[in-house]
């Protein structure tokens, strides 16, 4: 115990040297200032690092604590460059089920050839929300074969006779159809009766009994000052003609006025005789107000109508009925309106896909004329819960830009029967966002399959967790002590080395001087 107390009393790590024994030097002063600046700079950097946090990345299984995030919200703004708004549908497919026309939160804006958007055309309503359009007149009870027993009233046209008909008649209403089209087959009897109604109205004759239309239809038809030629074109036999007319869906009901397609667009109303006759009467009234019908139309209409069937037979016999189908035809940008889709859809948080397809509940679309080239202005994926921003975790810089890699990309198909398929990998994060990895591939389709722009989505079971961490206070103070003590010690070693070298040099110089004095 005595020795321990003696050792404790003698322990002194900070023994002082008397001031009169301490000798200062200019060299020591410079090195001391260097040590002070070094300690100050390291102290500043260490303090800044202590108050800053760093982002740490970890990998873990994607485990959701609640069912709030079972849905993914896909927000997009996509321009379909060569597809009409009336022929676009957005569908979704997942391993949990097949949903068609999945949402009503999609707006459609038709675009002209210059890409300029017009007023909103429609919303992509659910299938049962769309107003049911009468695809044919249910009051027509006879089949097309029975109606043809007394002769065809709807005039069959080809490329030559169509040109003749629209030149020689003020109003020509044409049904572009395909023999395999179910909608066309259902419409055929109605179209034939419509032709008979318009012909009887122009003749101002009513046969007693056996008519396939009512008195109301005839009275509406008689209100027309200019008789309308009702015609039809079989696009299976007249493929090039339908390509030239840019027929993309069957049946397409197109009205020609003074040799040009009616500016109001193809007929898309109810396909009943009364509705179509009223449409023709309204068009005639509009054109009459605009002064676009010739003055002698009424007097010469019947003669032109009677001559038409003769010319049709003449051209049909003279013209070659079979011709080569050409895939490359002259491009008229005004005949290729586009559509801008903007909105969002909800997808189950499971692998699946959504796609933009050409579809119409009232038409059968032509696969050859379907072009799904598109530009993605915006495409983002995020959880569907509305509080995700409030609970968002830390994310690395430029994360949001990297989570939308397809924004601004343009995908153009230059050949027929092709479409881009986009493969998208979603990697969950603890910030309620997704990292997105994507690749796009050009897919080929069979000739009888309509191309579609498809977005195939897969979710990673591994989630990326970002966490901000900071240093502990004891690490900070330990580093400060190491900086102060280490700098003082290292600089002391440096000063001692300089002093030793300087002393040895002075000693050698002194020794050489004494040696020269001896000699």
Nearest to 377 by CA among 421, 408, 403, 401: 408
**Torsion sign (Cα): 338, 341, 347, 349:** positive
Question: pLDDT by residue (tens digit) across 346-356?
Answer: 888 888 888 89
Start-end of CATH 3.40.30.10 domains in the chain: 144-318
Among 194, 196, 206, residue whose Cα is nearest residue 272: 194
Q: Determine the topology of domain 144-318 in CATH.
A: Glutaredoxin (3.40.30)
| CA quadruple 168, 237, 200, 309: dihedral sign | positive
304 burial level (CB within 10 Å; 0-12, 13-18, 19+): middle
Tokens 């102060």 correspond to 484
Tokens linked to 512: 């050489």
Assigned token pair, 196: 């008979």
Query: CA 449 to CA 438: how far, in whole Å?
Result: 25
pLDDT of residue 115: 66
Taking alpha carbons only, the member of 64, 121, 120, 85 closest to residue 350 is 64
**Could you tell me if 428 and 22 are in contact, meaning their C-beta atoms sit under 8 angstroms apart?**
no
Confidence of residue 7 (pLDDT cuts 50, 70, 90): low
Find the helix or strand (DSSP H, E) in which 72 lies: strand 71-80
Residue 410 in this model has a pLDDT that exceeds 90: yes
Q: Which helix (H) or strand (E) holds 17?
A: none
**How do residues 314-342 score in pLDDT, each as one tens digit?**
443 443 332 233 334 444 445 557 888 88
* 434-488 pLDDT tens trace: 889 999 999 998 888 889 999 999 988 888 878 778 788 888 888 888 888 888 8
């Amino acid at each position: 115990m005595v020795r321990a107390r003696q050792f404790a009393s003698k322990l002194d790590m900070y023994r002082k040297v008397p001031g009169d024994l301490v000798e200062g030097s200019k060299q020591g002063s410079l090195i001391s200032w260097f040590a002070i600046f070094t300690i100050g700079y390291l102290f500043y950097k260490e303090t800044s690092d202590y108050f800053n946090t760093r982002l740490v990345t970890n990998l873990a299984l994607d485990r959701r604590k609640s069912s709030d995030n079972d849905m993914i919200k896909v927000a997009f703004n996509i321009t379909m460059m060569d597809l009409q708004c009336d022929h676009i549908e957005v569908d979704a497919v997942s391993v949990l089920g097949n949903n068609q026309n999945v949402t009503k939160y999609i707006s459609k804006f038709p675009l002209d050839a210059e890409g300029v958007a017009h007023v909103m055309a429609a919303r992509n309503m659910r299938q049962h929300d769309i107003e049911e359009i009468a695809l044919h007149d249910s009051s027509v009870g006879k089949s097309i074969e029975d109606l043809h027993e007394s002769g065809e009233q709807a005039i069959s046209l080809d490329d030559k006779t169509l040109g003749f008909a629209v030149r020689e008649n003020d109003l020509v209403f044409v049904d572009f159809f395909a023999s395999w089209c179910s909608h066309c087959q259902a419409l055929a009897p109605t179209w034939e009766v419509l032709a008979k109604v318009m012909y009887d109205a122009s003749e101002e004759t009513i046969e007693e009994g056996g008519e396939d239309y009512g008195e109301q239809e005839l009275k509406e038809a008689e209100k027309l000052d200019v008789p309308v030629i009702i015609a039809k074109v079989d696009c299976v036999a007249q493929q090039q003609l339908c390509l030239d007319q840019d027929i993309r869906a069957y049946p397409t009901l197109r009205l020609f006025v003074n040799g040009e397609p009616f500016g109001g667009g193809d007929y898309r109303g109810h396909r009943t005789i009364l509705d179509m006759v009223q449409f023709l009467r309204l068009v005639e009234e509009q054109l009459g107000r605009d002064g676009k019908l010739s003055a002698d139309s009424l007097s010469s209409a019947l003669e032109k109508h009677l001559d038409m069937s003769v010319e049709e037979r003449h051209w049909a016999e003279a013209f070659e009925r079979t011709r080569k189908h050409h895939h490359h035809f002259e491009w008229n940008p005004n005949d290729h309106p586009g559509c801008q889709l903007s909105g969002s859809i909800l997808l189950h948080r499971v692998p699946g896909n959504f796609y933009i397809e050409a579809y119409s509940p009232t038409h059968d679309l032509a696969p050859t004329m379907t072009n799904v080239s598109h530009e993605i202005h915006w495409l983002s994926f995020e959880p569907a819960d509305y509080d995700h921003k409030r609970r968002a975790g830390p994310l690395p810089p430029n994360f949001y830009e990297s989570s939308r890699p397809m924004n601004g990309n343009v995908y153009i198909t230059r050949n027929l029967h092709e479409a881009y398929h986009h493969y998208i990998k979603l990697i969950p994060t603890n910030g309620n966002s997704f990292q997105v990895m994507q690749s796009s591939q050009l897919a080929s389709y069979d000739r009888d399959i309509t191309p579609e722009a498809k977005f195939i989505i897969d979710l990673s079971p591994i989630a990326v967790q970002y966490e901000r961490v900071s240093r502990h206070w004891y690490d900070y103070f330990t580093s400060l002590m190491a900086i102060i003590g280490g700098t003082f010690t290292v600089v002391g070693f440096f000063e001692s080395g300089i002093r030793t070298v300087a002393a040895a040099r002075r000693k050698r110089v002194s020794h050489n001087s004494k040696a020269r004095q001896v000699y």
